[in-house]
Chain A
């Protein structure tokens, strides 16, 4: 196999006294859709935010394209090609839809994605480009947040909980953009609480529980029982998982 585009080794991250991540490692290869799953508070978002540069790890390293970026500032990582769609969308509420995209394009690398191309991906945006981001619905905001990241022409796109607070049908629609994103050569690392959604799109996945890796593999390799056990932290099939399924 080729060399990983993004490689995290033994990452330990603290939030104050609390140890959020206890030695996480992962390797994302070009063209992959790598999914991080896990319950609330498992450390998925912390991992993604640390990769984006918003948290400083206590120890461990993050390598991108063979280069150590562990100490790089978040804006430098973005311009290098690691771009995150943050949890909760985090659009600029007082800016128009189009201005949000323009901010995303301010320090863009060269590449296939432009504001016009985003408008092609999400055709409804063209008519509403002048609307303030704060006036858009949750699903619309999520699409704009994705567009804002795409126009930067990332090599690695970090997607943090796209489905958060959105109706399943909207989530479906948003995930429909994924093949087009992958076609343009972007590698995706995503955090998803919705396990079936993650299993559907991922080429590889890792399950976190209380800051540790409990399962890693391709969706084909892992069974539903293994995922459940890794997700909830039960060790074997002695019946404890029964009922949680409901």
Chain B
């Protein structure tokens, strides 16, 4: 039963990992940008949340849409300025620029918010409220909610990409930017929309993370970026369903590792990551389910 419990907890954590990884996957899939600042963006969202709550006294949950909207705008603006400039200069430059952004963000946050960790303070009762299945499995409502949100976001994004005008344009631009231009689409604007979505999803993840644990300025690259990378690679680059599968596999692997020995938690995640790279480098979900 303890193992079943580990798998269920891992599955739920995997939802959060998938939410972290969605934006990373989208930016890579659409504009071939490996955003090394992606993890930091989740933390930025968390701190924006801290700020919004301090100023407006909104309840934490109500602050989420505000933070998501703010991050989406930030995503569009950053894309149209810094990232677009980097894209026009080559793929390697985007790596350097996003790495630079990551350093700027981390140091900026330390300057303004100190290196101390902060929580979003939703109250313990909210986070620890749970229900039991049998005697040994306890599921926290909050974790379940985050998992459901992750699935809803991914399904929603998939529907958007399939049927909405800009969703279709995002796929078109990912396929062939020049041909999209010939159809009248400004690919830079479409990239901006994709970045807004990516930043918006990572904002949800960042806020969830801030509620369930605490955030600190360096957490973005220390864990979030690495876990997001693992989820994307395990699932398959550029595939949204792959990202969900990758997040879940990573979460379950970590939970099982922790069940064996608490110190194996992170190690087990990376072991699965390496295993997938060796056995199935294209990821678990094949190209058929591309964006």
Which A residues are within 8 Å of any B CB, using their own CB? 52-54, 73-75, 78-79, 83-84, 86, 90-95, 99-100, 102-104, 106-108, 148-149, 152
| Pair B184/A152 contact, Cβ less than 8 Å | yes
Q: Name B287's closest neighbour in chain A (CB-CB).
A: A94
Contact call A95/B175, Cβ cutoff below 8 A: yes
Q: Given A79-B184, A102-B168, A106-B168, does the pair A94, B179 have CB atoms closer than 8 Å?
A: no
Known: A73-B186, A75-B186. A92 touches B171 (CB 8 A): yes
Q: Are A90 and B169 in touch, CB under 8 angstroms?
A: no
Interface string of B242-259 (1 = CB under 8 A from A): 000000000000000000
Query: Could you tell me the distance between the alpha carbons of A86 and B257 in the complex, rounded to whole angstroms?
Result: 54
Closest A residue by C-beta to B187: A75
Given the interface pairs A54-B178, A90-B176, A106-B165, the reply to whether A95 lies near B171 with Cβ below 8 Å is yes
B182 to A, closest residue via Cβ: A84
Asked whether B91 is an interface residue with its Cβ less than 8 Å from the other chain, the reply is: no
Asked if B222 is at the interface (CB within 8 A of a chain A CB), the reply is no
**How far is the CB of B118 from the nearest CB of chain A, in Å?**
42
Given A106-B165, A106-B185, A152-B183: A90 touches B178 (CB 8 Å cut-off): yes
12 further A-B pairs in the complex, CB-CB below 8 A; given A90-B179, A92-B175: A74-B182, A75-B182, A75-B185, A75-B186, A79-B184, A86-B182, A92-B171, A95-B172, A99-B172, A106-B184, A108-B184, A148-B183
**A73 to B185 Cα, complex, angstroms:** 10
Distance between Cα atoms of A111 and B177 in the complex (Å): 25
Q: Which residues of A contact B183 (CB under 8 A)?
A: 75, 78, 83, 103-104, 106-107, 148, 152
Decide: A107 near B175, CB < 8 A? Known: A94-B290, A95-B168, A102-B168. no
Query: Cβ of B180: which chain A residues have Cβ within 8 Å of it?
Result: 92, 103
Q: B182 contacts which of A52, A94, A99 (Cβ < 8 Å)?
A: A52
Instruction: Say if the beta carbon of B150 comes within 8 Å of chain A.
Output: no
Which of B168, B169, B174, B182 has the most chain A CB within a 10 Å cutoff? Answer: B182
> Which residue of chain A has the shortest Cβ distance to B179 in the bound complex?
A90
Q: 9 nearest interchain CB pairs?
A: A107-B184, A78-B184, A92-B175, A90-B179, A74-B181, A79-B184, A103-B172, A92-B172, A75-B181
Q: In the bound complex, how far is the Cα of B174 from the Cα of A102, in angstroms?
A: 16
Number of A-B residue pairs, CB cutoff 8 Å, is: 79
In the bound complex, do residue A103 and residue B169 qualify as a contact, i.e. CB atoms below 8 Å apart?
A: yes
Instruction: List 8 A-B residue pairs with CB atoms under 8 Å apart, sorted by A's residue number.
Output: A78-B181, A90-B179, A92-B172, A92-B175, A92-B180, A95-B175, A99-B172, A108-B184
B41 contacts partner chain A, Cβ-Cβ < 8 Å: no
Tell me the bound Cα distance from A86 to B172 in angstroms. 15
User: Which residues on B sit within 8 Å (CB–CB) of A148?
Assistant: 183
Contact with A along B226-256 (1 / 0, CB 8 A): 0000000000000000000000000000000
| Residue ID in chain A nearest B165 by CB atoms | A106
User: Which of A79, A92, A102, A107 touches B179 (beta carbons < 8 Å)?
Assistant: A92
A contact residues around B178 at 8 Å (CB): 54, 74, 86, 90
Kindly state whether residue B7 has any CB partner on chain A within 8 Å. Answer: no
Chain B residues within an 8 Å CB radius of A103: 168-169, 172, 180, 183, 185
Judged by a CB distance under 8 angstroms, whether B291 is at the interface is yes
Q: A158: nearest residue on chain B (CB-CB)?
A: B182
Q: Given A99-B168, A102-B168, A103-B172, are A94 and B291 neighbors across the interface (CB < 8 Å)?
A: yes
With a cutoff of 8 Å between Cβ atoms, the chain B residues found around residue A91 in the complex are: 176, 179
CA distance A79 to B182 in the complex (A): 9
Would you call A93 and B175 a contact (CB within 8 A)?
Answer: yes
**A90 to B180 CA separation, bound complex (whole angstroms):** 9
Complex: how many Å from CA A75 to CA B186?
6
Q: Is B186 touching A94 in the complex (CB atoms < 8 A)?
A: no
Min Cβ gap A51→B in Å is 12
**How far, in angstroms, from A52 to B291 measured CA to CA in the complex?**
28
Closest to A148 in B: B183
Complex: A218 Cα to B171 Cα, angstroms: 43
**B residues in contact with A93, CB < 8 Å:** 175-176
Cβ–Cβ < 8 Å partners of A92 in chain B: 171-172, 175-176, 179-180
* Bound-complex Cα distance A66 to B179 (A): 26
B156–chain A nearest beta-carbon distance, Å: 19
Q: Which residues of B contact A102 (CB under 8 A)?
A: 165, 168
Closest B residue to A79 by beta carbon equals B184
| Contacting residues, chain A, for B172 (C-beta < 8 A) | 92, 95, 99-100, 103
A146 to chain B, nearest CB (A): 12
CB neighbours (8 Å) of B175 from chain A are 92-95
A27 to B183, CA, bound (A): 24
Q: Which residues of A are found within 8 Å of B174, using beta-carbon distances?
A: 94
Shortest B190–chain A CB gap in Å is 10
For the complex, give the distance between the alpha carbons of A64 and B30 in Å. Answer: 33
